[in-house]
């Protein structure tokens, strides 16, 4: 017994803050949230069990739920590939013994680190306002700029552009990945007279597949969780005409504007299911397109 304690006590002592957090702020809340999603709960009166009514209402009747899914998916499917393509392209430009690489890297990365801030979200609103910078540029080219922020057909692009502007952090991860590709492969390919496209598709992309995979999963999860910029740019409500009703924004408003805690919990579980589903797809398909160096592909 004493031996058992002597072996385990230090470990559990050091782990105790995390254990407290894990039970009270992670597992406990997860279980509670699952239970709440089957109840009607407005804080003022105790939760009332209603079975799967919330989920049924959500999928069958709730048009705003479908709208929020549409907005979020459109955003994810535009912003994630956009971000990754820019990140890889710029990383390849930087991946040489090029002068001042540190400065470029810093300049390209800076938007990533500031991009989530409220200051940048406020800035973005003004850049895309009717007389803002973006429309000034559009007019220079000779077109008339749209009403980015009040036209539901255009509003989502402002956020997609904001996301792509932050390609810096996947770029840094790509850079690290590119460094790890042995230069001999390219030399061998040149002996075989392979052109730049051939080299990209036959060497760079396959060798980089694990990093692409990592970035893809990471960016996708981040994109599904987008909140700050959507909140600021859409006046906190998904304006105009629910065209910026991100899933997280809908959830926030259900919970903290209307105090429908049960329904909001059900929404949270749908979000978890969606993120889980896409992560699982990425992992399940990865064996077809991701080959790690230490295995035979």
The number of residues in the chain equals 297
Answer yes or no: are the C-beta atoms of 159 and 79 closer than 8 Å. Answer: yes
- Cα–Cα distances in Å, from 160 out to 46, 79, 124, 235? 41, 5, 11, 17
What does the alpha-carbon distance between residue 84 and residue 167 come to, in Å, rounded to a whole number?
7
Dihedral pair phi/psi, residue 67, rounded to 5°: -60, -45
What does the alpha-carbon distance between residue 58 and residue 53 come to, in Å, rounded to a whole number?
8
Cβ at position 110, least distance to other proteins in Å: 7
What does the alpha-carbon distance between residue 12 and residue 4 come to, in Å, rounded to a whole number?
12
Element containing residue 40 per DSSP (H, E): strand 39-40
Joined together, the tokens standing for residue 246 give 């991100």
Helices 118-127 & 133-141, crossing angle to 10 degrees?
A: 30
């Amino acid at each position: 017994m004493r031996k058992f304690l002597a072996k385990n006590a230090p470990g559990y002592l050091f782990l105790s803050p995390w254990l407290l957090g894990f039970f009270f702020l992670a597992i406990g809340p997860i279980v509670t949230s699952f239970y709440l999603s089957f109840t009607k709960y407005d804080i003022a009166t105790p939760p009332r069990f209603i079975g799967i009514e919330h989920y049924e209402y959500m999928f069958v009747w709730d048009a705003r739920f479908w709208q929020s899914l549409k907005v979020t998916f459109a955003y994810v499917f535009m912003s994630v590939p956009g971000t990754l393509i820019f990140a890889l392209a710029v990383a390849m430009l930087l991946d040489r013994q090029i002068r001042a690489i540190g400065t470029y890297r810093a300049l390209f990365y800076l938007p990533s680190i500031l991009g989530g801030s409220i200051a940048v979200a406020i800035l973005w609103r003004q850049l895309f306002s009717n007389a803002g910078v973006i429309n000034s540029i559009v007019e220079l080219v000779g077109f008339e700029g749209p009403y980015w922020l009040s036209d539901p057909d255009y509003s989502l692009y402002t956020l997609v552009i904001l996301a792509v502007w932050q390609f810096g952090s996947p770029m840094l991860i790509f850079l690290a990945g590119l460094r790890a590709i042995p230069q001999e492969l390219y030399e061998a390919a040149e002996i075989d007279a392979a052109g730049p496209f051939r080299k990209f598709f036959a060497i760079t992309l396959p060798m980089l597949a694990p990093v692409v995979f990592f970035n893809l999963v990471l960016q996708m999860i981040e994109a599904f969780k987008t909140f700050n910029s959507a909140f600021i740019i859409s006046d906190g409500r998904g304006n105009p005409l629910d065209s910026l009703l991100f899933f997280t924004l809908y959830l926030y408003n259900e919970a903290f504007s209307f105090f429908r805690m049960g329904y909001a919990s059900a929404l949270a579980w749908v979000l978890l299911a969606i993120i889980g589903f896409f992560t699982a797809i990425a992992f399940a398909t990865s064996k077809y397109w991701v080959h790690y160096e230490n295995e035979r592909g």
